Amino acid sequence: MEPTTPTLSVHTMTASPYTIGTTFPTIQDARDAVLRYTVDQKLSYRIVKSDATRRKKKLVIVSVYRPHTCPPETHENWKMASSMQYVVPRLARSFHANPTLKAADIQELELLGGRRLKYHQAWRARKQLETFLQNNNIEDTILPDVEEPPQRKRVLVGYGIDVDAVSNWINTGDGSPPNPINVSRGVYGATVGVDRLLKLLEKYNIKATWFTPTHTIESFPKQMVKIRDAGHEIGLHGYTHEHVSDLSDEQQRSVLKRSMEIFTKLTGQIPMGYTAPGWKTSKGLIRILEEHGIIYDHSFMHHDFQPYYVPDSNSQWVETNTANAPESWMAPMTRLRPSTIVEIPANWHLDDWPPLQPNPGTAAQQGFVDTQVVERLWKEQFDYAYREYTTFIFPMTIHPEVSGKPHVLLMHERIIEHINQHEGVEWVPFGDMAKEFREGRFPGVTIEGGV
Residue whose CB is less far from Zn ion, 118 or 399: 399
Write down the least CB distance from residue 159 to Zn ion, Å: 14
The 8-class DSSP code of residue 2 comes to: P
422: left (phi over 0), alpha (psi -120 to 50) or beta: beta
Binning the chain into helix, strand and coil, the percentages to the nearest 5 are 45, 15, 40
Query: 159 near 208, Cβ under 8 Å?
Result: yes
Instruction: Give me the least distance between CB of 241 and Zn ion, in Å please.
Output: 6
Query: To the nearest whole angstrom, how small is the minimum distance from the Cβ of residue 164 to Zn ion?
Result: 4
- Give the interface segment with Zn ion, choosing from 53-61, 63-71, 84-92, 161-169 (CB under 5 A): 161-169
CB 373 within 8 A of CB 356: no
* Piece in contact with Zn ion (CB under 5 A), picked from 55-63, 98-106, 155-163, 438-446: 155-163
Measured CA angle at 158 (ends 74, 300), to 5 deg = 90
- Shortest spacing between CB 276 and Zn ion, in angstroms: 9
Residue nearest to Zn ion (CB): 162
Stretch that binds Zn ion, among 93-101, 121-129, 159-167, 287-295 (CB under 5 A): 159-167
Contact range with Zn ion by CB under 5 A, out of 42-50, 164-172, 254-262, 309-317: 164-172
242 is an interface residue for Zn ion by CB under 5 A: no
Residues 318-347 contacting Zn ion, CB under 5 A? none
Closer to Zn ion at the Cβ: 278 or 431?
278
Should residue 436 be labelled a site residue for Zn ion when binding is judged by CB under 5 A?
no
- Could you give the C-alpha distances from 229 to 188, 198, 240, in angstroms and in order? 21, 11, 24
Rounded to the nearest whole angstrom, what is the least distance from the CB of residue 303 to Zn ion in the complex? 21
Stretch that binds Zn ion, among 11-19, 154-162, 176-184, 218-226 (CB under 5 A): 154-162
Examine residue 162 and tell whether it contacts Zn ion (CB under 5 A).
yes
Reported as type and span, the H/E element at residue 253 is helix 249-267
Residue of 390, 440, 421 lying closest to 154 (CA atoms): 390
Q: 162 vs 439, which CB is nearer to Zn ion?
A: 162
Provide the minimum distance between the beta carbon of 239 and Zn ion in the complex, in angstroms, as a whole number.
12
Tell me how far apart the alpha carbons of residues 114 and 451 are, in angstroms, rounded to a whole number.
24
Would you say 103 or 190 has its CB closer to Zn ion? 190
Nearest CB to Zn ion, comparing residues 78 and 210? 210
Q: Is residue 133 within 8 Å of 96, Cβ to Cβ?
A: yes
Q: Which of 223, 224, 287, 229 is nearest to 253 (CA)?
A: 287
Stretch near Zn ion under the rule CB under 5 A, chosen from 87-95, 162-170, 286-294, 366-374: 162-170
Q: Are 167 and 439 in contact (CB under 8 A)?
A: no
- Closest CB to Zn ion among residues 164, 343: 164
Q: Which of 110, 164, 290, 432 binds Zn ion (CB under 5 A)?
A: 164
Amino acid type, 235: G
CB of 237 vs Zn ion, minimal distance in Å:
6
| Residue placing its CB nearer to Zn ion in the complex, 400 or 443 | 400
Of 162 and 297, CB closest to Zn ion = 162
Least CB distance from residue 149 to Zn ion, whole Å? 39
Q: Cα–Cα distance between 18 and 38 in angstroms, integer?
A: 11
Residue 212 one-letter amino acid: T
| 272-to-85, 95, 186 alpha-carbon distances in Å | 31, 37, 25
d(CA 271, CA 274): 8
Which is closer to Zn ion, CB of 64 or CB of 294? 294
In angstroms, the CA 306 to CA 159 distance is 15
Calpha distance 241→233 (Å, rounded): 19
CB of 397 to Zn ion, least distance (A): 8
How far is 401 from 44, CA to CA, in rounded Å?
36
Q: Of 35 and 247, which CB lies nearer to Zn ion in the complex structure? A: 247
Judged by the rule CB under 5 A, the positions of this chain that interact with Zn ion are 162, 164
